Chains A and B, each alone.
Chain A
Amino acid sequence: MSLAVGKYKAGDRVRVRTDDRPGHVRTPYYVRGKNGWVERVYGEFLNPESLGHGGDGLPQRPLYLVGFHQNEVWGEYRPLGRDKLFVDIFEHWLDPA
């Protein structure tokens, strides 16, 4: 996996956008609006939002492994502790936090 020339690097704190766009998206509902951090920079990949509708997926977009504390994603998560949740999220869904 090559490093992308993207906006974020490992360790950066990010917030997932709450975009409500129609069409095929791969950012799950449950992380939208949540704060996390960049765990890994995965490189650039074809955009599924374009591929899903017959597009060519270009331009490629930077993709990140984004980590979240479970206690911050779900109000009722137990135990209170170190459990984490990781999601592969495209740069255009992330803002600096």
Chain B
Amino acid sequence: MSADHGAGAEAVESKHERPKHELSAHAKRVYAIRDLLLEKGVLTKNDIQEQVEYMEARTPANGARLVARAWVDAGFKKRLLADPKAACAEMGIDATSLNEFVVLENTEKVRHLVVCTLCSCYPRPILGRPPDWYKSLNYRARAVNDPRGVMREFGNEVPDDVEIRVHDSTADMRYLVLPLRPKGTEGMSEEELQRLVIRDSLIGVVDPLPAVPKQ
């Protein structure tokens, strides 16, 4: 992945580099804006690079670690639900830039689904950038009035007797789903459990992966 190119410097080749003259009008403007902000001293190259690295360091693996620990350690789970930012600190996950953070616990009878209908609020400091579908106009429209239809599109058929709770993140709270531990995972290590906690299960649209039966 290429980093900040420097004020007007030549582009560093990367996998995702397209010839710049082929970019859309708006895409081109970000380079102009960046160059001007650097020239005027509003930002430094370092300011920008720091943010690139900040986001690179944040991935759904953080969420998987929190969940797997909560599954194996009842005390940690209580702490995670009561004070998620402190629980993150315990695990060495830097959630300090989150204003507020709420963990929503799934149960046999309750599944949570997180959306931001007004824009695309997402627990970025923990999970990194949201998937494209989460930011899409159709998800933002339908998650609130058709959560079952949305989940069905993701292959997740929720029985009628399971309650769905949709959270629309309209303020400073960022929501993370604590999925239900899949059956048949007793005796799995934390690392093995982490692999079941896929990103989409932290948003709530699907459940975690099932345990793979040992051969």
A and B touch in the complex (CB under 8 A): yes
Chain A residues within 8 Å of B, Cβ to Cβ: 1, 26-28, 30, 42, 45, 48, 63, 65, 70, 73-74, 77, 79, 81-90
Would A26 and B171 be within 8 Å (CB), given that A77-B145, A83-B165, A84-B166 are in contact? yes
CB distance from B103 to the nearest CB of A (A): 12
Given A26-B118, A73-B145, A77-B145: A84 and B163 within 8 A (CB)? yes
Interface of B is mostly: mixed
The answer to whether B100 touches A28, judged by C-beta atoms less than 8 angstroms apart, is no
Instruction: Give Cα A70–Cα B142 distance, bound, in whole angstroms.
Output: 13
- B residues neighboring A (CB under 8 Å): 99-100, 117-118, 144-145, 147-148, 160-161, 163-173
Q: Residues of B contacting A1 with CB < 8 Å?
A: 100
User: B169 to chain A: which residues have CB within 8 Å?
Assistant: 88
Is chain A's interface secondary structure helix, strand, loop, or mixed overall? mixed
Closest A residue to B159 by beta carbon equals A79
Residues B171 and A88 in contact, CB atoms below 8 Å apart:
yes
**Does B171 contact A28, Cβ atoms closer than 8 Å?**
no
A27 B147 Cβ-Cβ under 8 A = no
CB–CB A82/B144 < 8 A: no
Q: Cβ of A79: which chain B residues have Cβ within 8 Å of it?
A: 148, 160
Q: How far is the CA of A89 from the CA of B168 in the complex (A)?
A: 10
Contact B173 A26 (CB under 8 A): no
**Cα-based distance from A49 to B171 in the complex (angstroms):** 11
In this complex, what residue of A is CB-closest to B171?
A88
In the complex, A73→B145 CA distance in Å?
8
Given contacts A45-B171, A48-B171, A77-B145, contact A86 B163 (CB under 8 A): no
Q: Report the bound CA distance from A37 to B93 in whole Å.
A: 34
Q: Which of B99, B164, B170, B173 contacts A83 (CB 8 A)?
A: B164
